[in-house]
Chains A and B, each alone.
Chain A
Amino acid sequence: MPTVEMTFTPLPAHVRTARLVATAVARRSGVPEALLDEVRLAVGEACSRAVEVHQAHCPAEPVRVALTGAGERFEVVVTNTAVGDGGMVWPPQPATDGQDPAALPAELGLAVIAGLADDVQVSRNGDGLSIRMSWPSGAPAA
């Protein structure tokens, strides 16, 4: 069972709340202070992406975030239920415009997540997608 589970209306204003809650639970779960910024940023990116696809496909459906800090790793799962979010490519691809150094990858947020979390899994979850990320929690091995 997740330590904390939350759902929120897919609005940009709520992404900050999700970041703050995730960071607080990560801290309580023993994630080293040096990694908390990475947790905050990666969770923010995953939630921002979920909000974006929900607003495009299913604005009435909430975004789900599950935070589990009971084991050796602190795990975050951000789930969207957006039908039509089938175009995501994981791992994220570099920008296609090789001539322009300022060209951004199509999914910059995913590129950031890939660069931050040492363990990321993306899986189809019903109609939508789940992004599962984890960090060492500092808890002793069972």
Chain B
Amino acid sequence: MDLKLEHHTTDGIEVVDVEGEIDVYTAPRLRELLIDLVNGGHYQLVVNMEKVEFLDSTGLGVLVGGLKRVRAHDGSLDLVCTQERILKIFRITGLTKVFGIHDGVDEAIAARKSEK
């Protein structure tokens, strides 16, 4: 399956809905979207990965790149993911300590709001 990307603003936070497979072929599209959002002044991001079927290290690199970009503007990039097979790759690489990973978009937004 290809990669579908959509985004919308909720409570001042830009939510990116990702569906499909994030790999060496499709990850550049996610990278471009994250760069566009940051360049457009969106520094509070939530990436919803509930419909992601596959994620590899290229995708992880894109997410880390996005995190570094928003942090340069004192922003944040949180993830929504409850799928064990996706969470596993975050654990293997130690990135569970780097990202805020939430069970739902509402929870991610609420967590971000409470930190403000």
Q: Tell me how far the C-beta of A61 lies from the nearest C-beta in chain B, rounded to whole angstroms.
A: 18
Instruction: Assess the B25–A108 pair: CB atoms within 8 A.
Output: no
The one of B21, B57, B68, B93 in contact with A48, judged by C-beta atoms closer than 8 angstroms, is B57
Instruction: Assess the A48–B56 pair: CB atoms within 8 A.
Output: yes
The one of A44, A52, A101, A115 in contact with B56, judged by C-beta atoms closer than 8 angstroms, is A44
A48 to B21 CA separation, bound complex (whole angstroms): 14
Confirm or deny: A127 has a beta carbon within 8 angstroms of a beta carbon on chain B: no
The one of A37, A44, A111, A112 in contact with B23, judged by C-beta atoms closer than 8 angstroms, is A44
Instruction: Assess the B92–A111 pair: CB atoms within 8 A.
Output: yes
Of the listed residues A51, A105, A115, the one surrounded by the most CB atoms of chain B closer than 10 A to its CB is A115
The interface size bin for chain B is 20 to 34
Confirm or deny: B24 has a beta carbon within 8 angstroms of a beta carbon on chain A: yes
The one of B25, B54, B58, B61 in contact with A40, judged by C-beta atoms closer than 8 angstroms, is B54
The interface-forming segment of A8-16, A64-72, A129-137 is: A8-16
Considering the complex, which residues of chain B in the window 15-52 have a beta carbon less than 8 Å from any beta carbon of chain A? 21, 23-25
Interface 1/0s, chain A 31-48, versus B by CB < 8 A?
000000100110011001
The one of A12, A40, A115 in contact with B93, judged by C-beta atoms closer than 8 angstroms, is A115
The one of B60, B67, B68, B92 in contact with A115, judged by C-beta atoms closer than 8 angstroms, is B92
Contacts of A37 in B (CB 8 A): 85, 88
Confirm or deny: A116 has a beta carbon within 8 angstroms of a beta carbon on chain B: yes
Interface size on A, residues (CB 8 A): 23
Q: Tell me how far the C-beta of A136 lies from the nearest C-beta in chain B, rounded to whole angstroms.
A: 18
Instruction: Assess the A16–B92 pair: CB atoms within 8 A.
Output: no
Confirm or deny: A109 has a beta carbon within 8 angstroms of a beta carbon on chain B: yes
Instruction: Assess the B21–A45 pair: CB atoms within 8 A.
Output: no
Confirm or deny: A102 has a beta carbon within 8 angstroms of a beta carbon on chain B: yes
Chain B minimum-CB-distance residue to A110: B57
A140 to B17 CA separation, bound complex (whole angstroms): 44
Confirm or deny: A24 has a beta carbon within 8 angstroms of a beta carbon on chain B: no
**Closest CB pairs A-B (n = 3):** A115-B92, A12-B25, A108-B57
- Please name 17 pairs of A and B residues whose Cβ atoms are closer than 8 Å in the assembled complex, sorted by A: A12-B23, A15-B23, A16-B21, A16-B23, A40-B54, A41-B54, A44-B54, A48-B24, A48-B56, A102-B67, A104-B61, A104-B64, A108-B60, A109-B56, A109-B58, A112-B89, A112-B92
